[in-house]
Structure 1
Amino acid sequence: MRKLTGYAGLVVGVLAVVMSVYHVYARLTVYAPDQHALLFITLGFSLVLSFLLWPLHKDATPDRVPWEDLALAGLSLFCVGYMFVNYEYVVNRFPTADALSPMDMVVGCMGILLVLEATRRTIGAALPIVAVTFLAYGLAGHWFGGFLHHRGLTLEITVDQSWFTTEGVFGPPMTVAGTYVILFIIFGTFLEKSGAGAFFMNFANAIAGGARGGPGKVAVVSSSMFGTISGSAVANVMVDGWLTIPMMKKTGFKPEAAAAIEAVASTGGQIMPPIMGAAAFVMAEFLGASYTSVMIAAAIPALFYYGALFAAIHFNAVRSGLKGLPKEELPILGQIMIKQAHLFMPVVVLLALLLQGFTPTYAAIMATVALVAISWLRPKTGMGPRACLDALREGAINTIPVAMACAAAGIVIGIVLQTGLALRFTAFLIDFTYGQLLLALMITMVAGIILGMGMPTTPAYIMQAALLVPAIIKLGVEPMAAHMFAFYFSCLSAVTPPVALAVYAAASIGGANLWGAGVQAMKFAAAGFIVPFFFVYNPALLFSGSWYEILSAVATGMVGVVALAAGLEGYFLRNAAWFERLLFLAAAFLLIDPDGITDIIGGGVLAVGLLSQKLRNGAPVTDSARA
């Protein structure tokens, strides 16, 4: 991304601030334009800023906007301006029934190409390539056989569906970006500017830094807290990793383990309520449910994910004889809470408003306002006009990659709907798997990981929601569980080799071997790969059921993820023999499954493994022996 200064930097800064302020204004006043106009404005700002800030290629001049990018920004304004000039015509016409004029065709084709190029610049080439492939499929469907066959779309219908309807570029994904995502990103930026990131780190150090493997546990606490605000695994690694990874290495963690811990902890931020990744808002849109219901459903799986990671770090540290940070290097919890605890209050405000039934947009805005006011409880954290303007500017800029990903994904969704591919693919997948749910889930898992390797979580999830999730639902899975399953594996691609972007980022900081860090990351993230299968078969893990079912699922599941960590790390009370590791792993699978019979069997298997550890080679291991 370009680092513009002078007049160009001022212009871009003003545009970004205006973009943020407008979206806040649009949610607070009854005089704001309707939904169509909001999306036109969101795309207009995003396209213009994409071409002004992201260069054509990496070797371009970093501090100057060339004339061709200015021309593309101008064409973006022309295409969006055309939608406003002909607003009544665009909004009231019958899509794909009323013929497009020659100028409509020019604007539509130009707009689609601009969206694809802006997406390529901001998030890479993978999603634009997928979008172009689907556009070609729409035009050439009559050449395909089997479930891929359709009568073929004309160029006019393809352009109409992709640009002039509410099921293409301006479809549900873009609606989520322009309505919800930008406001939560702005809130997260304000939180970061207020110094909350430093508070999260100090708080984590104070409560966990002195324990065995303390720096690793600090990474879990701080990254889960910051990751739920940032919504990006890689961004979280780059913010927290510079502090946590060297700290872990200093106390004896191997570089690969340190990088894996930070990558897995950062990735979990997207599945951690109250503020999850942008895909969670898209999920709520697809489900026709409130974001609060999605947030509540995600709570138990997130608890298992981080519980397993925390236990794995502990076992890894004890097995390796690692210590925590020296007491003199630890911040004092009481002093931190006195000086900085107020910075956590806006998150509490946000969560309280969501749970009370307020809309996510209102909750995000009110939490941001509360943050600015609360920051002045301590002069050192008070956010003045300059800090607020910087937060508004960065919030808009951080929204652009998400908005462009949603716009390009909308093109894919439009083609899928227009060609009827979703229905045919659902029927094909059910026939291909012979109606076997487990096989369909395995295919969805692999697809989510592969898609997530080349694109951000949001478009990767959207692809699955369009093609794979309907088949899972038709096989009897509850919609929330089906969508959450796809969402999980879109996130976990960030720590799954061979293309594990969060691991790459962490390994570059820690000087770790990429494959070694990747394999270790998969071990640390094991609960994330296993738990989704269990909540598909038993929705109690998604807060669906009686309180007894939910509480028992949480209690036995937490024991199960600890057993899982012990089996993978090869340590519980002492170094585990191979048969003890198998017992722990078997117990983990049985206990995570929220069923009474499997819980009883799993508890017995775990007891056998622990008894074996206590009896093997004499008396139980003492603390000194563990070290």
Structure 2
Amino acid sequence: MVAEADIGARNPTSAWQSQLIVGTCIVWSLFQLYIASKVPSLVAEATGMSVFANIVAQARYVHLAFAIMLATLAFPLFRNSPRDRIPAYDWALLLLGLAACLYLVVFRFEIADRPGLWTTTDVVMSAIGMMVLMVSVYRSLGLPLVVIASCFILFAFFGGYSEWARNITNFGGASLSKALGHYWMQTEGVFGVALGVSTTMIFLFVLFGALLDRAGGGNWFIKVAIALLGALRGGPAKAAVLSSMMTGMISGSSIANTVTTGTFTIPLMRRIGFPAEKAGAVEVASSTNGQLTPPVMGAAAFLMVEYVNIPYIDVIKHAFLPAVISYIALLYIVHLESLKMGLKGLEKPGRRIGVLMILVLFLSGFIFLGICAFLMIGLRVLLDPVLGDSVYAAVAVLALAYVVLVAVAARYPDLEDDRDQTGPPVAPRLTPTLIGGLYFAIPIFVLVWNLMVRTDSLDRLSPALSAFWATIFMIVIALTHRPLKAFFRGRALSAETRQGWHDFVNGLILGARNMIGIGVATGAAGIIVGTISLTGAHQVIGQVIEVVSGGNLMVLLFLVAVLSLILGMGLPTTANYIVVSSLMAPVIVSVGAQAGLVVPLIAVHMFVFYFGILADDTPPVGLAAYAAAAISRGDPIMTGVQGFTYDIRTALLPFLFIFNTDLLLIDVGPVKAVIVFVVALLAMLLFAAATQGYFIAKSRKWESAVLLLVAFMLFRPGYFLDQISEPFATVEGPAALAMIEGVPEGQDIRLAIEGPDFDTGETRSTVIVIPAVPGDAMAALSEQGLTAVEEDGKLLLEEPFPGTPHFETIGIEYDYYGDAPVVIAQAQVENDRMPKEIFFIPALLLLAGIVLIQRPRATQPAF
């Protein structure tokens, strides 16, 4: 199943054909490492040949050429197509695809001299490239993305025939030459932002994860999780959650994550009493949520950097808290399931770790991840006198740490693959398991260090360069950790050296094969983005969704969630995110502003991303559920249904952080961040208890309802405060200027803008936020590129210039030259109210009441 869905199911019997696939994978991985390094520029300077530097600029075309080539070689076109050989029509498609991509490299100077004036050859090569790309998408990802992309292409050609669409978008249709040139010959279509991110960042992170897995890091993650949690009640299920989270950090595929960890954990869950469907569902919920966990996040994190235009470190910060809360809640759900079924844990030799100690270790691990930037910066300050700006000194310190950790690990036996053990299930001891592979944490440390650390003498590296150096160090580990262990154990080195080389080569192969689907998906998604830039199609779709929702933000969010789930049944998470965010993110922001809610763009993108992930276990197509059911021997549909019920708590989080952006740590200090974490975690655990119908004892229906109410009060205390006290002081018209002048520095001012819609002429309203400039209202407006004029008792707003902060929000949405003016209708400033946290008190009192009521009914200890 993994081969069919992720890496290609064709396995030629002919040696040269098989070697061609393997060799192409290796060359692609080495090419990506080459362009990520500084070697091309150094070679160009040394030789004076610009071709070595130019290959980096042309990398997108080569990247897609490799993806199309491997999709053609590794994935059969139809179910009945031969899998033991490569048929003639695939060779023809391969040559056509390579020709269309490399045409852009070979004739790049001639193409640059005729932008928009495409020749017949340009159009023909573009048509061939589009056709072969669609075939590659179909064979590697199935029909859904092909259908969606085709619909957008048809709109580009025939959308001008619809008067309604033409009135909204002012698009009259595109000629064959214009459309194909836009899609293929420029960087606004197939070779746009998405494919660029796949080329420069996503591949390196996927390759890093593949090398870590092949070297034994994935097995180490799983064994540590089982050693830590396996002896607890329902231990294998809890270990599945923890190990899937850790492997999910470096895996971009829900299916691969399910199979990697599930082959260990699902049989163990079955052996302690979990039914087949629930065992598979736990693994599915854990593995799909692995894409929520920074730093990789299923490749969507890198796309958010480009689409939201924020630093990568900010994406990690915003994603961190929801991911932690989601996983702890899943651990709690697994614990409640174990309590309901009266299950025990695995046997464990030696001293057992108490529940309290495990909780401390678990939370301290998350807390460490949360403050590791500060710890690393402190370490950097201490080492700065020694290291300075010297890369060699830093490498020497890392090498020494690596050798020491391998020497210590050599004293313990290697971690064995015991998936087929026949005796009583036993959890390994934690100390030898943890120390035996601790050196696998070094490249992850290198990755996080480069991404997060910044001092006066050292800047953070880009995500691409961070992944490059982490991958280089991972290659060193893959090649050397086995022979080093043999050396410290006094054994022969030759066999272990060969095995290390095989691990390295297999990592290169797996990394490339894992990228086939992502490579062609980002190219096909570029067609959708290109259609939007060419035609304004998002306005049509946005208006349809907006009309269906009636302008109600909650209804709109629900529709977007359903759309993400439906599309995600047939699309990989990355493609689903690109499609839905491109179409719906502006609509959600616009409708929210019309409703008076300023929704940060990152919150909208995270919302879409979360529901795209949930589609991986949504019946009837959730492939992760089929993979888990194949291992558990359960029903795949029921496995998917059960997995989705476990993931309800994940589906709740996106709605919460749209209305409570504290969960995304937006404008939240360290102290408040801790409070937000504790309160949100408690609320999520109570929500999980309510949906599972079990808290201290089996809950009655009214008790579950009270727990839901308590969870809501903890998540949204501001809702109750708004019912008894107005959140904003509001003034209308020219009086807004006086209010703006009296607002202290550092406080935000909300401006309600009203005026005729540019497309429809109907009056529309929206809300923008500007920072205060004390004592000068015009200066506060001017700093945001806004100019207001008082006239006839109204505060008229002039058209903002392009490039000013609010041009994209209000500059292109309103008709500033119509009969009706655009005005600042209201100005709002937050009222001085009691803290919303006061409502935590009644919530905790209700919770205490439920505890007192349920305690006498408890029939078994909590742990």
Q: TM over 0.5: same fold?
A: yes
The reply to whether residue 353 of structure 1 matches residue 469 of structure 2 is no
Q: What is the CA distance between 1:374 and its match in structure 2? A: 4.0
Cα distance in 1, alignment partners of residues 132 and 549 from structure 2: 39
Secondary structure at the aligned position of 1:459 is classed as helix
Specify which of 284, 288, 310 is matched with residue 267 of structure 1. 288
Judge which range, 165-174 or 390-399, deviates more.
Answer: 390-399
Judge which range, 603-612 or 119-128, deviates more.
Answer: 603-612
Report the equivalent of 1:503.
625
Mapping of 1:236-255 within 5 angstroms?
A: 236-255=257-276
Report the equivalent of 1:608.
846
The question of whether the paired residues in 2 share the 8 Å contact of 1:541 and 1:594 is answered with: no
Cα distance in 2, alignment partners of residues 422 and 36 from structure 1: 30
Q: Tell me: CA distance 1:35–1:316, structure 2 relative to 1, closer, same or farther (3 Å).
A: same
The one-letter amino acid of 1:3's match is N
The question of whether the paired residues in 2 share the 8 Å contact of 1:147 and 1:425 is answered with: no
Judge which range, 193-202 or 345-354, deviates more.
Answer: 345-354
Judge which range, 260-269 or 354-363, deviates more.
Answer: 354-363
Specify which of 151, 158, 168 is matched with residue 133 of structure 1. 151
Secondary structure at the aligned position of 1:399 is classed as helix
The reply to whether residue 552 of structure 1 matches residue 675 of structure 2 is yes
The question of whether the paired residues in 2 share the 8 Å contact of 1:350 and 1:367 is answered with: yes
* TM-score normalised over the length of structure 1: 0.94
Report the equivalent of 1:4.
12
Cα distance in 2, alignment partners of residues 594 and 362 from structure 1: 42
Cα distance in 1, alignment partners of residues 56 and 158 from structure 2: 33
Secondary structure at the aligned position of 1:3 is classed as coil
Report the equivalent of 1:338.
435
The question of whether the paired residues in 1 share the 8 Å contact of 2:616 and 2:622 is answered with: yes
Mapping of 1:32-431 within 5 angstroms?
A: 32-33=53-54, 36-95=57-116, 98=117, 100-147=118-165, 150-328=171-349, 329-356=426-453, 357-375=460-478, 376-377=480-481, 379=483, 384-431=500-547
How many pairs does the alignment contain? 622
Judge which range, 164-173 or 581-590, deviates more.
Answer: 581-590
The question of whether the paired residues in 2 share the 8 Å contact of 1:544 and 1:550 is answered with: no
The question of whether the paired residues in 1 share the 8 Å contact of 2:697 and 2:859 is answered with: no
In structure 2, the gaps of 5 or more residues are: 1-8, 45-52, 350-425, 454-459, 486-495, 593-597, 722-835
1:446-500 deviation line (CA, Å, top 9, x unaligned): 1111110111111111111211001112233111111111111111111223332
Secondary structure at the aligned position of 1:371 is classed as helix
The question of whether the paired residues in 2 share the 8 Å contact of 1:556 and 1:594 is answered with: no
Report the equivalent of 1:465.
581
Secondary structure at the aligned position of 1:229 is classed as coil
4+ runs of 1 displaced by more than 6 Å?
none
The question of whether the paired residues in 1 share the 8 Å contact of 2:237 and 2:269 is answered with: yes
Q: What is the CA distance between 1:364 and its match in structure 2? A: 0.9
Report the equivalent of 1:541.
663
Q: Tell me: CA distance 1:594–1:525, structure 2 relative to 1, closer, same or farther (3 Å).
A: farther
1:352-408 deviation line (CA, Å, top 9, x unaligned): 211122111111111122223345355468773332222112211211110000111
Q: What is the CA distance between 1:600 and its match in structure 2? A: 4.9
Q: Which has the higher strand share?
A: 2
Secondary structure at the aligned position of 2:346 is classed as coil
Cα distance in 1, alignment partners of residues 694 and 428 from structure 2: 30
Report the equivalent of 2:690.
567
Judge which range, 367-376 or 487-496, deviates more.
Answer: 367-376
The reply to whether residue 576 of structure 1 matches residue 699 of structure 2 is yes
In structure 1, the gaps of 5 or more residues are: none
Percent identity between matched residues is 32
Cα distance in 2, alignment partners of residues 462 and 423 from structure 1: 16
Q: What is the CA distance between 1:266 and its match in structure 2? A: 0.1
The question of whether the paired residues in 2 share the 8 Å contact of 1:584 and 1:605 is answered with: no
Judge which range, 378-387 or 393-402, deviates more.
Answer: 378-387
Q: What is the CA distance between 1:590 and its match in structure 2? A: 2.4
Q: What is the CA distance between 1:606 and its match in structure 2? A: 5.3
The question of whether the paired residues in 2 share the 8 Å contact of 1:304 and 1:527 is answered with: no
Q: Tell me: CA distance 1:215–1:266, structure 2 relative to 1, closer, same or farther (3 Å).
A: same
Q: What is the CA distance between 1:445 and its match in structure 2? A: 0.9
Q: Which has the higher helix share?
A: 1
Judge which range, 200-209 or 63-72, deviates more.
Answer: 63-72
Q: What is the CA distance between 1:603 and its match in structure 2? A: 5.6
The one-letter amino acid of 2:175's match is T
1:525-580 deviation line (CA, Å, top 9, x unaligned): 12211111111112211111232432222110000111011111111111111111
Report the equivalent of 1:527.
649
Q: Tell me: CA distance 1:227–1:7, structure 2 relative to 1, closer, same or farther (3 Å).
A: same
The question of whether the paired residues in 1 share the 8 Å contact of 2:529 and 2:582 is answered with: yes
1:23-69 deviation line (CA, Å, top 9, x unaligned): 11112122432655111111111111211111121222222111211
Secondary structure at the aligned position of 1:61 is classed as coil
* TM-score normalised over the length of structure 2: 0.69
Cα distance in 1, alignment partners of residues 638 and 98 from structure 2: 48
The one-letter amino acid of 2:651's match is F
Cα distance in 2, alignment partners of residues 416 and 612 from structure 1: 53
The one-letter amino acid of 1:170's match is F
Cα distance in 2, alignment partners of residues 83 and 287 from structure 1: 29
The question of whether the paired residues in 2 share the 8 Å contact of 1:538 and 1:594 is answered with: no
The question of whether the paired residues in 2 share the 8 Å contact of 1:183 and 1:361 is answered with: yes
Q: Higher relative contact order at CA 8 Å, sep ≥6: structure 1 or structure 2? A: 1
The question of whether the paired residues in 2 share the 8 Å contact of 1:586 and 1:602 is answered with: no
Q: What is the CA distance between 1:151 and its match in structure 2? A: 1.3
The one-letter amino acid of 2:532's match is V
Secondary structure at the aligned position of 1:468 is classed as helix
The question of whether the paired residues in 2 share the 8 Å contact of 1:576 and 1:613 is answered with: no
Cα distance in 1, alignment partners of residues 574 and 114 from structure 2: 30
Q: Tell me: CA distance 1:387–1:513, structure 2 relative to 1, closer, same or farther (3 Å).
A: closer
The question of whether the paired residues in 1 share the 8 Å contact of 2:717 and 2:839 is answered with: no
The question of whether the paired residues in 2 share the 8 Å contact of 1:297 and 1:543 is answered with: yes
Specify which of 612, 625, 637 is matched with residue 490 of structure 1. 612
